[in-house]
Structure 1
Amino acid sequence: MTEPSQQQATVVVVARNAAKTISVCMRSLHQQNRAPSEVILVDDGSTDETVKLAIEAFPGLRVITSATRSISKNRNVGWRSASTEFVAFLDADCEAPAHWLENLLNAATRLDVAAVGGGNAPPAGQSAHYDALAIMLSSYVGSRGSLQGQIPMSEATVPHIPTLNVLYKREALERAGGFDPRFARMGEDEDFSRRLRDMGQSLVAIPDAVVVHHQRADLRSWAKNMYAYGKGRTWLIRRHPNAWSPVFLVPPLVLLVLPIYLICIAAVSLVLCIGDRKPALWLRLTALFAMTHLPYGLGQIAGLFISGDNPDARRKRRRVGMIALKNAGNKGDEAILCAVSERLEKFLSQPGNAVDPYLIAFGPSGIDTRPLPASKEARERVILDALAPASSSRAVQPLALIPDALRSLVVFSGFQGIFISGGQWLHDLSLPKHVVVCSLFAFGRLFRTRTGVFCIGVGPLQRGFSRRLTRLALGRRSLVITRDDASTKLLQDCGLNHASTAADPALLLPTSPVTASANRILISPCAWANFENLYELDQAKIDESFQNWTKLVTRLTEAGRELAMLPTMNPEDRAFAEQIVQKTGCDIECIETEELLPSQVQGHIAASSALISMRLHPVIFASNSSTPFVALNYAAKVRAFCKQAGYEDRVVELNDPCWADTVLQKLDQPTKDAVQISSIRSTQIAALNSGYQLLEQWLSGVGKTSIPAHGKGPTQCESPL
C-alpha cells in the first residue's frame, strides 16, 4: 500500500440544475488542504448555469456531459473516467471542510477497507427549517440511526455510506461492477454498499469528515423527496431481501392510526426541542416529522405497484434463488455453488433470459439472501462470505427468529423459483429441520413459486411422514435432480417419478495453482465415524475416530512422510485437526482454508502426492486433479461417488475399529488405469451436462422436468470397472 502522503484521489460530483449550490461545493473542493488529483463534474444535461458556475469556482475542472437522467449511470461515468487509486464522491449540494479529503485518504490507507465516509449536517443557523431538520436527524425517530442523518461520534464499521460523502477504493468499484443502473435516481448508494458487504468488504465511517448538506430547504420539497425515498426503499428491499426490517412496517402502518401518530410525534418533538433548548421550533419539528414519515410510508406503498423509475428497473425479471447451508464453512458447498453459478451466468447472459440469480444461505441461524453478481470474482466472494464459518451457525438466534421467519416467508412466496443446489439435504436425521425445509417449499408452491433440487444427496428418510413431506415440497413441476442413483430411487419412492440423476457439480471446478511441496500427503479429517453421528454426537464414536487418526498420522510421520492437514468444514474440522496434531506432537502444518476459494483448496490437493479424506469433496477435488487418494466412507455419499467415478477400490470402511491400518495399505497401492478412469469421468460429466440442460429448461420455463419422457428419469451409467 502506498504511503498516505502519496495517495491520489479523484473527486466526482454529479449534478443537474444545481446552480444554487454548485459554487459552494466547488469552492470547498478548491480549498482542500490535500488537493485532489482531479475533480470531475458529470453534468446530467443541466439547463441552468450549473456548468458555468462550477468552472468559475474551480478553474481546471473537468466537465463530462452525460444527459442520462440516471445518477447511477453518471456515477459510473465519473469513476470510470478517473485514473487514481481512490475515487471520492461529493454531492453538488454539499460543502466539504478543508481537511475532508485528507482525512478520508488517511483513514482509507490506514484501515485498508473498501470505503470510508463521514456524516452530513444541515447548515447551522441558516433557517428555522434547517435547525429543525438538524434536531430531527439527530434522533433515531428521524433518521433510524443511519449515517444519512447522523454524525458519527467515533470511527466505526457501518452497513451503509451515502455517496454524498464517501471515498472508495477504485478496486472495490471495479470488483463490484459499479452502480446498478436499475437504481437511477434513488437507492443506488445503499444498493452498492450492500453489494460490497455481500463480498465481505468493510465500510467505515469516521467522525472528522463531516460535510454541510444544503438539502431540501422547505417542507414541500422535503416531503416530495421523502415520497421518492419511500419508493426507493421498496425497490431496494425487492432487490435485497436482507434489507427488510420490521421497522419499515412502521411508516405505512402510521397511516392507519394517523390521529394517534400526530399526538405521539408532537410529544416527541416537544421533548426533543426542550432537550435542544429550542422550544420555538416545536410546531415546525412536528410538521417536519409528519412530512418525513407520512410521505415515506405512501412512497413505500406506491413502490409495490411501480417497478422502478427507469426502463432498466421496469424490465420484468424473475428472481431465482439457490439454497445452501448458511455459515457451515463447508468447502464442498462453496465448490458446488461456484460451479453452478458459473454455468448459470453463461446461460443467463444470453438475450431474453431475464432472471436475477440469488444465493439463499439458510440454516438454524436464519436466512441470508444475496443477489449474485455477474462477475466471477465478485460472485465467488459473495459465496465465500455467505457460507463462511460462524460460531452461531448451528444455533437458533431467538431475537432474530421472528424477523427471519417473516423474511423466509417473503422470499419463498415472492421468488419465482427456488432450488437447493448440492449438499446432503432432505433427510430426517433431524426431523425438525426436515419439517422446516419441506414446509417452506410447500408454502412457496402455494404462491406458484417453482421449487426444485439440483444435484443433491438425499436421505435417509426413515419415516413415512418424512417422505410425504418431501412429496409436498416437490411436485410435478419441480426440478428434481440428484447426484447419485440411490438418492434418485429414494425420491422416486416418495412419488417423485420424474427424479433423475446427474453428478456432483464440483466435477467441473477449475483448479487454481498453488505453490506447495509435491511430496506431502494431505489429510482432510472429520470427527464423525458416520453421517448419523453429526446429530447423535456419540462421544465413543468420536473418540474411536480420534484414536485412528492419531495412529494414522503417527505411523505416516514415523515412515518419513511429509504431512499437512486440510480441514474443509470449519470450524469443527480445523479444531479436530489441531487436536490430532497436538496429540501426536508432530510438526504438521494445518492449512488455513477458511479464506481460500474452493478452486484454491483443489489447487493444494493437485500440488500434493496423495490425499486421505473423510470428507466427500476433497475426494472429488482429488479426482478432478488426478491426485491419488484414500476415501474414508463415513457416509453413503462417499462410496456412491467413488463407485460412479471408478475408484471403489480406494474406499475404506469405518466399521473396522482399526481402519487406520487399512488406509496405510491402500495408500501405497497403485491406482487404476488412467484411460479407464478418464472414460468414466466423461460419462459423469455427460450426465452432469444433461442435468444442466434440464435446469436451464426449468429456469427459462420452456421445458418441464416433470414431463415423463425419461420414464423414471435418467440415471448414471454403472462403472465398467
Structure 2
Amino acid sequence: MTDGAGLTIGVLGSYGGRNLGDEAILTGLLADLRHQEPNARIIVFSRNPAHTALAHPDVEAVPWEGVSRVDSSAVLAQLDLLVLGGGGILYDKEARRYLRVVRVAQERGLPLLTYAVGVGPLSEGVDTGMVRETLGQATEVTVRDQESRMVLEEAGLMNPITVTADPAFLLTPEDFPESWLREEGVPAGKQLVGLSVREPGRAAERLDVDGYHRLLAQISDFLVHRIDAYVLFVPMERDDIRHSHGVMSHMIAAERGRILHNDYSPRQVLGLMKHFDLAVGMRLHFLIFAAMMGTPFLPLPYAGKVFDLAQRLGVPALRGVEREVEGPLLAEVDRLWDERDQRADETARRVAAVCEQARGTSQVTRGVLESIRSRTLTAATA
C-alpha cells in the first residue's frame, strides 16, 4: 500500500472454471471488497485468467495452477492481504493444491482471511494437516455452513471459527427479459419449471448416472402432466449440458424440455429465477438463486452443503436421488406445488436471515481491513 492508495488484496478460489456457482461467489466477494475498499487493487488467482479478466475488468487476474513458488512469491509480495475465497475448495486431494499457494503467502508473513469457505470431506492426512496448519495461522476463519465448522474442528483446528453464509447471498439480480426465454425455445403462456442436474464426481460419488437420469426424467414428466409445464434445464457448469440431455433422453414428454444454451452471468441467472413457477435441483447455487428470488424450490441433495441449505431455509430435502426412490420424491414435488403459497412467507423470512448471515462475512472482513490499514499507516509514519 502506497501513500494515498488502497490496499492490494489477493483473492484465491476456484475461479475461471466456468462454474456459475463459483463465479457467483467471486461476484459477491468482489462487490463486498469494492464496497469496503473502493480504491483497492485486487488480484484474482484464477484457473483461467482470461475468463476472469473478461468477466471482471476492474481486477487483475493471474494463474496459480502450475506456477512455481518463485513466480507465486513475486505476485504475493505485492499483497497486503490474501483472501481464500468462498466455495467448497478444502476437501481431500484439492485442499493441498490451494493451500500450497497459501503456505507460500504465509512464509512471507502475509495475513490470511478465509471468506465463507466450504470445507470437507477431509480424511486424508496430507490435506487435513495442511488445513490445520495454514488455517491455524489465519487472521480470521469464516465458513459458510455448520458442516464446514465441524470438519475443521474434527481436523484439529483450534482457532475461533465464524459461521456465516455463502457469498452468493450477497448478489443482486440483473434483468432476464422474456425475449431471452423465447430465443431459448421456451414458449409463452405455460407454467415453467427450472431443473438443475450435476455430474457425478468427487462431490457426488454415489450417484448412478443412468439411475438418477431416469429418476429426474420421471420428476420432469410428472410436472409436465401435473401442471402443464415446460421444463427448462439450467446448466451451472458445462458438463451439466450433457447430463441434461441424458435426463431428456429418458423423458416421455421430451418435447416439453429445453436446455439453456447461451452464456449468462450469475446475476442474469439469478434474474432468470423470477420466471420459474417451481424449481427442482441438485446444484447448490441454483437452489440459492431460487430461494433469493422467492421461487418455490425442492433440493435434491447429494452432499451435506445442500442439506445444510435446506435446513437453514426450512424446506424438505430427500436423499432419493442417490437411492433412486421415485415415490417419496414425486409426493414431495406434488406437495410443494400444492403448498407453495403457504410456505412462501416463512421461506422468505428465513432467506432474509441467511442473507444477513452472509453480510456477517463482510463485518469480519471489515475488521481485518481496518487492522491492516492501521498497521500500514503506523509503519509509514514511524
Tell me, yes or no, whether TM beats 0.5: yes
Aligned-partner Cα distance in 2 for 1:408–1:530: 27
Counterpart CA distance in 2 for 1:664 and 1:703 is: 55
Displacement of 1:481 in angstroms is 0.4
Letter in 2 for 1:346: H
How far apart, in 1, do the equivalents of 2:32 and 2:217 lie? 41
In structure 2, relative to structure 1, the CA distance for the partners of 1:684 and 1:622 (3 Å cut) is: same
Question: Residue type matched to 2:87 in 1?
Answer: G
In the alignment, residue 425 of structure 1 is paired with which amino acid? I
Contact persistence 2:136–2:159 (CA under 8 A): no
Aligned partner of 1:426 among 54, 66, 90: 90
Cα deviation for residue 568 of structure 1 reads: 0.8
> What amino acid maps onto 1:484 in structure 2?
D
- The 3-state SS of whatever aligns with 1:520 is strand
Counterpart selection for 1:332 from 14, 17, 21: 21
> What is the match of residue 35 of structure 2?
346
Q: How does 1:251-400 map to 2 (within 5 A)?
A: 317-349=6-38, 355-362=40-47, 368=49, 380=56
Report if the CA contact (8 A) 1:481-1:500 is conserved: yes
Q: In the alignment, does 2:347 pair up with 1:657?
A: no
1:503 to 138, 146, 165: 165
Counterpart of 1:70?
Answer: none
1:694 aligns to what SS in structure 2?
Answer: helix
- Shift of the 626–598 alpha-carbon distance from structure 1 to 2, 3 Å rule, reads same
The offset of 1:655, in angstroms, is 6.1
Match of 1:612 in 2: 280
Partner in structure 2 of residue 568 of structure 1: 236
1:454 and 1:442 map into 2 onto residues whose CA distance is: 17
From 304, 308, 320, the equivalent of 1:640 is 308
Is this contact kept in 2: 1:318–1:416, CA < 8 A? Answer: yes
**Alpha-carbon spacing, 1:434–1:621, altered in 2? closer, same or farther (3 Å):** same
Conserved in 1, the CA contact under 8 Å of 2:52 and 2:61? Answer: no
Matches of 2:264 and 2:77 in 1, distance apart?
34
Equivalent position of 1:528 in the other structure: 200
- Secondary structure at 2:42 match in 1: strand
Give, as a single letter, the amino acid of the residue that structure 1 aligns with 2:357: A
Give yes or no for the alignment of 1:686 onto 2:353. no
Asked if the contact 2:21/2:236 (under 8 Å) is kept, the reply is: yes
Partner Cα distance (1:695, 1:355) in 2: 14
Shift in Å, 1:404: 5.8
* 2:112 aligned partner: 451
CA distance in 1: counterparts of 2:302 and 2:202, whole angstroms: 4
Greater relative CO, 1 or 2 (CA 8 Å, sep 6+): 2
Alignment-mate amino acid for residue 40 of structure 2: V
> Displacement, 1:606?
1.4
State the 1:318 CA deviation: 3.2
Instruction: Return the match for 2:174 from 489, 512, 517.
Output: 512
Given the superposition, is the C-alpha separation of residues 379 and 697 from structure 1 closer, same or farther in structure 2, using an over 3 Å criterion? farther
Pair 1:542–1:582, CA change in 2 (3 A)? closer
| 1:416 counterpart letter in structure 2 | D
Alignment correspondent of 2:210: 543
| Aligned partners of 1:622 and 1:628 also within 8 Å | yes
Identity of aligned residues (%): 19
* Bigger Rg, which one: 1
Whole-Å Cα distance in 2 between the matches of residues 476 and 446 of structure 1? 11
Q: Does 1:466 find its partner at 2:127? A: yes
Q: Give the Cα–Cα distance (whole angstroms) in 2 for the partners of residues 550 and 501 of structure 1.
A: 36
TM-score by length of 1: 0.45
TM-score of the two chains, using structure 2 as the length reference: 0.82
**Displacement, 1:459?**
0.6
Match of 1:592 among 238, 246, 261: 261
CA drift of 1:331 comes to: 1.0
Structure 2 CA distance for aligned equivalents of residues 503 and 620 of structure 1:
11
| More displaced 10-residue stretch of structure 1: 473-482 or 437-446 | 473-482
1:638 alignment partner, SS class: helix
**Aligned in 2, Cα 1:314/1:347: closer, same or farther, shift over 3 Å?**
closer
Taking the aligned partners of 2:68 and 2:213, their CA distance within structure 1 comes to: 37
**How far does residue 677 in structure 1 lie from its aligned partner after superposition?**
2.8
2:143 corresponds to 1:482 = yes
Whole-angstrom CA distance in 2 between matches of 1:382 and 1:330: 20
Matched, 1:626 2:307: no
Equivalences for residues 43-442 of structure 1 within 5 A: 317-349=6-38, 355-362=40-47, 368=49, 380=56, 401=66, 406-428=70-92, 431=93, 433-442=94-103
Query: 8 Å contact 2:113–2:139 — kept in the other structure?
Result: yes
CA 1:357/1:498 → structure 2, altered by over 3 Å: closer, same or farther?
A: same
Aligned partners of 1:694, 1:617: CA distance in 2, in Å? Answer: 23
The 3 A distance-change label for structure 1 pair 371 and 499 is same
Contact 1:502/1:690, CA 8 A, preserved across alignment: yes
Q: 1:527 to 1:355 in 2, by over 3 A?
A: closer
- The 1:420/1:477 distance shift into structure 2, 3 A limit, reads closer
CA RMSD of aligned residues (A): 3.3
Give the gaps of 5 or more residues in structure 2: 182-187, 375-382
Q: How has the CA–CA distance of structure 1 residues 484 and 508 changed in structure 2, closer, same or farther, with 3 Å as cutoff? A: same
- Counterpart amino acid of 2:169? L
Q: What's the counterpart of residue 701 of structure 1?
A: 371
Residue of structure 1 equivalent to 2:377: none
The alignment covers a number of residue pairs equal to: 356
Whole-angstrom CA distance in 2 between matches of 1:655 and 1:337: 29
Would the alpha carbon gap of residues 523 and 513 (structure 1) be closer, same or farther in structure 2, given more than 3 Å must change?
A: same
2:118/2:144 contact within 8 Å kept: yes
Q: Pick closer, same or farther for the CA change 1:327–1:579 going to 2, 3 Å.
A: farther
Alpha-carbon spacing, 1:456–1:445, altered in 2? closer, same or farther (3 Å): same
Return the letter of the residue paired with 1:543. Answer: D
